[in-house]
Amino acid sequence: MTVTFEFNVYHEDYHNAGVASSEIKKYLTQIGLNPQLIRRIVICSYEAEMNVVIHSYGGKMVLSIDDNEIKLEVTDTGPGIPDIELAMQEGYSTAPLSARERGFGAGMGLPNMKKNADTFEIASSPQGTIVRLAWGIL
Amino acid sequence: MKNLVDIHNERCIGCTRCMRSCPMEAIRIVDNKAQLFKERCIYCGNCIIECHKNAYKVYSDSFANLSKYKINVAILPIAIYGLLNNKDDLGGISATLKDYGFDEVVELSGIYSFMVDQILDYIKNDDKTYILTHCPSVTRLVTKKYPQLLHHLLPFSPPFEIAGKVYRRFFSEKYNLQEDEIGISYISECLSNFIVIKENKDKIAIDQVFLLSDLIRNISYKKIDEVKAVKKGVYFAKVGAFKYVSNNRDILAVDGIRNVDTVLEHIDIRKIKNVRLVEAYSCTGGCVGGTFMQENPFVAKWRVNEFINELDDDVTFDINIEPIDYYAGEFESEEGVLTLSNDFREAIKKMKRINEILAILPNIDCCACGSPSCRAFAEDVVKGLKTIEDCRMRKGGT
Ligand code: SF4
Ligand code: SF4
């Protein structure tokens, strides 16, 4: 049995940034997942959500929950990450001033996701970026 | 035994106001009457303030209990400073309470001012974001909704509890009596403190609790006692006191339980970092906005400011306070109150069913069904609390 949830995320919508992650947290709490695991998932989902807000034209997040695994797929519609290897380095950031002024864009997004997810995949082209994260249950 | 919070059916008209004001989705309207689901409630008091029919009832303890003790001490809440017009009022209140049968009347500013340094000292050990535990509703919000943030709570008791311990010892020495011969009563400004005391009578240093609104109505001024307040502590009647008296930039002050909820959410998802202490109060304006204040919180704040101007700087608090008086240890998590089922697979099944139901609901959160949102209604249907027919706004009417 799988349940899925879909959330839209908009470019530069700083006010609502985090709302999707909050909802994700709410649903994971409702199914009774261990708080420590929820924490790791939400750290990733928030970083991913912020990345879409800061760097992309907009996108969506899909959370799916089944008996064995939690999956989070984050897609956007571009402009893509030119050099993924560079973007994976801690502290490397291309965030614009508008994001940095708000305390975001410290260049920890992707490294944090990699650290906190059981599996982490990323692919990017000018048409968009896709990040796939998964966590095993138990 | 009576419920801690009773809803009077003959007064309730099922208008949904209280339900919509509840930050925990703890209220439903069933058969046109409000029902409170205790396990979710954090006793913020929003529902009581919102109800225009005065249907919510809570009960002070009986004055008859005072006869059990040789000496009775009344502790006034810090919010009392939001009700005073001048310095003499405090003495008038004290004298009036003595007419009710109390032997000693004390206030909390000394305890609050003492705790400032203890807390600043405690939080300097690491760079965690700490959450102030002066307000029990905030603490409950964390234990029920943010169990992941449990270790961010300061391990300190709320000030009324500290005062209970400190003054019990102080007066038993003063009168040369056993500690259990001293009766300690708290005059509560809010539902939050009131319920903690009612619920934990056997574990807590307070023996009785009375509603401020019940007692304060008849201040007589026949006599005026001398009561001294510590200026630094009086600031704590309102939100932002900690930030103000400690002159610390890394303190985030927030009031109103929904705002507190949002701030905790931001801390939890790490949208906010670099904050050392969250000074959070469930009520608007801080304690001056307490459920039983019967004064507008902004007017009360203004009164506090006026009162502070009249105070001397040199009043200090010189009663001894020990760590055992204020150290509470880790708070216990109440995780599980928000889960759909103890069985993970079962919970997923229910979640799926909730989504299916939600898909045929109008998603306008009109509340006419007696649930606080369409999603909450779908949950209630799955839990068996409501039937799909309770939604009068359904598409297609399936
Ligand atoms: S606010 Fe709540 S308790 Fe008061 S009348 Fe309306 S439904 Fe009933
Ligand atoms: S006291 Fe607060 S949490 Fe409890 S039912 Fe009322 S509004 Fe909800």
- Chain segment B224-248, per-residue pLDDT in tens: 788 889 999 999 999 999 989 988 8
Residues A88-130 pLDDT 10s: 888 777 777 777 777 676 666 888 899 999 999 999 999 999 9
ipTM for the assembly: 0.86
Ligand 1 midpoint to CA B55 (Å): 6
* For residues B140-158, average pLDDT: 94
Q: Whose CA is nearest to atom 2 of ligand 2?
A: B44
Tokens linked to B272: 């906010």
pLDDT number for residue B398 = 47
Terminal-to-terminal C-alpha distance of chain B:
43
B144 to chain A: nearest residue by CA?
A29
Q: What phi and psi, each to the nearest 5 degrees, are found at residue B223?
A: -140, 155
Alpha helical stretches, state H, A59-125:
84-87, 97-100, 109-116
pLDDT number for residue A107 = 63
DSSP state of B20: H
Q: Whose CA is nearest to atom 6 of ligand 1?
A: B15
pLDDT of A12 over the 80 cut:
yes
Average pLDDT along chain A: 89
Contact by Cβ (8 Å): B260, B156: no
pLDDT number for residue B2 = 63
pLDDT number for residue B397 = 52
Share of chain B above pLDDT 70, in %: 98
Contact between B348 and A17 using a beta-carbon 8 Å cutoff: no
Residues B276-319 pLDDT 10s: 999 999 999 999 999 999 899 999 999 999 999 988 888 889 89
- Of the pLDDT bands very low, low, confident and very high (cuts 50, 70, 90), residue A62 is very high
Q: Where are the domains of chain B?
A: 1-59, 65-326, 340-398
Helix (H, G, I), strand (E, B) or coil at B208: strand
pLDDT of B174 over the 80 cut:
yes
Quick count: other Cβ atoms within 10 Å of Cβ B333?
Answer: 16
The fold for domain B1-59 equals Alpha-Beta Plaits (3.30.70)
What pTM, to 2 d.p., does this model score? Answer: 0.92
Alpha helical stretches, state H, B32-158:
46-50, 87-100, 109-123, 136-145
The ligand 1 atom at the shortest distance from the C-alpha of residue B19 is: 2
Which of A29, A34, A54 to probe by mutation at the B interface, max B CB count within 10 Å?
A29
Which of B129, B269, B338 to probe by mutation at the A interface, max A CB count within 10 Å?
B269
The two beta strands, B71-75 and B182-188, are: parallel
Q: Is B349 on the interface with A (CB under 8 A)?
A: yes
> Which ligand does the CA of B54 lie closest to?
1
pLDDT of B323 over the 50 cut:
yes
Q: Whose CA is nearest to atom 8 of ligand 1?
A: B12
Average pLDDT along chain B: 92
Domains of chain A (ranges plus CATH)? 3-136 (3.30.565.10)
Residues B332-380 pLDDT 10s: 888 888 999 989 899 999 999 999 999 999 999 999 999 999 999 999 9
Residues B4-63 pLDDT 10s: 899 999 999 999 999 999 999 999 999 999 999 999 999 999 999 999 999 999 999 999
Contact between B271 and A65 using a beta-carbon 8 Å cutoff: no
Contact by Cβ (8 Å): B106, B295: no
Chain A residues touching B339 at Cβ < 8 A: 29-32
Q: Whose CA is nearest to atom 3 of ligand 2?
A: B41
Residue type, B182: I
Tokens linked to B276: 């050392």
Cβ of B7 closer than 6 Å to ligand 1, yes or no, is yes
User: Is the C-alpha dihedral spanning B42, B114, B167, B301 positive or negative?
Assistant: negative
pLDDT of A138 over the 90 cut:
no
Residues A38-59 pLDDT 10s: 999 999 999 999 999 988 999 9
The residue that leads in pLDDT, A90 or A12, is A12
pLDDT number for residue B300 = 95
- Report the range of poorest mean pLDDT among A90-94, B101-105, B342-346, B386-390: A90-94
Helix (H, G, I), strand (E, B) or coil at B365: coil
CB-facing half-sphere around the CA of B34: CA atoms within 13 A: 33
- Of the pLDDT bands very low, low, confident and very high (cuts 50, 70, 90), residue B125 is confident
Contact by Cβ (8 Å): B149, B206: no
Helix crossing, A19-30 with B344-359: angle to 10°? 130
Ligand 1 pocket mutation pick from B3, B7, B8, B13 by most atoms within 8 angstroms of CB: B13
Confirm or reject CATH 1.10.15.40 for domain B340-398, answering yes or no: yes
Quick count: other Cβ atoms within 10 Å of Cβ A14?
Answer: 16
Contact between A22 and B338 using a beta-carbon 8 Å cutoff: no
DSSP state of B151: G
Helix (H, G, I), strand (E, B) or coil at B7: strand
Q: What phi and psi, each to the nearest 5 degrees, are found at residue B116?
A: -55, -50
pLDDT number for residue B81 = 94
C-alpha B385/C-alpha B374 separation (Å) is: 14
C-alpha B92/C-alpha B89 separation (Å) is: 5
C-alpha B283/C-alpha B247 separation (Å) is: 23
